[in-house]
Amino acid sequence: MTFTPTTLDGCFIVEASLFKDERGWFTRTYCEEVFTKNNLNTKWLQMNHSCTTQKGTIRGLHFQYPPFQEIKLVRCISGSVLDIVVDLRKDSPTFLKYFGVELTEQNKKSIYIPKGFAHGFQTLTNNAQLVYMHSNAYIKESEGGLFYSDPLICIQWPLPLTEISERDKNHPLLTNQFKGI
């Protein structure tokens, strides 16, 4: 496995080695020993699997407030998405900056997202499926969200929006009073 740092401190693209033969292929998507050697979280408390049926759909941008912040490891297992993370950490030099990476079933990349980030994605194909590892359990009362087209962040989504949940389209806009989490 290789861990490529992104422009946001603590956030990595994870690329697993692919082994092919006449039967197909095999890859290890997580290894405690390798993550530990790279000083990354190795304790996962929850795993989620989502399927988004329509191309152009946006899910997110979601986060958890302290003390229930979570680290995530996200991988696309079917179709493709543009995965977005936004740095919400107080005093971070990249506060309110975002990073995007295309995750596809073909490239088999994952993104490691540290605590203090919002996460969301836009589907680039129909029937895109993601699996997410979480370091903390989901706590509804601790949930937060960013508006997908907030002008303080200026995310460049690649496709016109086709679908979004009622909750996600009603997240409030950030103000200069927002100091991070």
Output the domain CATH number for residue 47.
2.60.120.10
**pTM higher than 0.85:** yes
The predicted pLDDT at position 42 comes to 83
Which residue out of 98, 112, 132, 148 is catalytically annotated? 132
Look at residue 160 and tell me if it is in a domain.
yes
- Over residues 22-41, the mean pLDDT reads 92
Look at residue 62 and tell me if it is in a domain.
yes
CB 8 within 8 A of CB 113: no
Domain of 97, in residue numbers? 2-169
Look at residue 174 and tell me if it is in a domain.
no
Q: What are phi and psi of 66, to 5 degrees?
A: -60, 145
Domain total of the chain: 1
Told to judge if 132 belongs to the known catalytic residues of this protein, a careful annotator would answer yes
Which residue out of 62, 98, 112, 134 is catalytically annotated? 62
pLDDT (tens digit per residue) in 36-65: 999 998 899 999 999 999 999 999 999 999
The predicted pLDDT at position 41 comes to 83
Look at residue 107 and tell me if it is in a domain.
yes
Told to judge if 62 belongs to the known catalytic residues of this protein, a careful annotator would answer yes
Look at residue 67 and tell me if it is in a domain.
yes
More confident residue, 163 or 17: 163
Look at residue 161 and tell me if it is in a domain.
yes
- Over residues 95-120, the mean pLDDT reads 97
- Over residues 16-34, the mean pLDDT reads 92
Look at residue 177 and tell me if it is in a domain.
no
The predicted pLDDT at position 162 comes to 98
Look at residue 176 and tell me if it is in a domain.
no
pLDDT (tens digit per residue) in 68-91: 999 999 999 999 999 999 999 999
The Cα 119–Cα 59 span in angstroms is: 9
Determine the number of helices (DSSP H) and then strands (DSSP E) in the chain. Answer: 2, 13
95-106 residues labelled b (16+ CB within 10 A) or e (exposed): bbebbbbebbee
